[in-house]
Amino acid sequence: MDLKNPFPNNEGSVHLWQGDDDRLVPVTLQRYIVSKLPWIRYHELPGAGHLFPHADGMGEAIMKELLTGEK
């Protein structure tokens, strides 16, 4: 976890989306990473699996969050 904050002046952040039912990437791994790197904005999706980005409306929801900060 030896990563430096790419936004030392808080001018940005990295977003990470994770489905809590993902069977390829353990949700516990993402939770650990986020606990160590506070500049990551974590979005955990209840009941979502690994392919959640392909769900109806998910792409729009992600873009809305990135562009406007609204969930």
Domain boundaries along the sequence of the chain: 14-68
Dihedral sign (CA 25, 4, 60, 65): positive
Tens-digit pLDDT profile for residues 12-33:
889 999 999 999 999 999 999 9
CA–CA distances in Å: residue 47 to residues 19, 24, 26: 7, 14, 13
Whole-number pLDDT of residue 12: 83
Apex 55 CA angle, 20 and 57, nearest 5: 115
Task: Decide which of 3.10.20.70, 3.40.50.11320, 3.30.70.360, 1.10.10.350 is the CATH code for 14-68.
Answer: 3.40.50.11320
Whole-model pTM above 0.85? no
Q: Measured between alpha carbons, how far is 3 from 58 in angstroms, rounded to an integer?
A: 29
H or E segment to which residue 36 belongs: helix 27-36
Instruction: Give the tens place of pLDDT for each residue, 43-62.
Output: 999 999 999 888 888 888 88
pLDDT at 44: 92
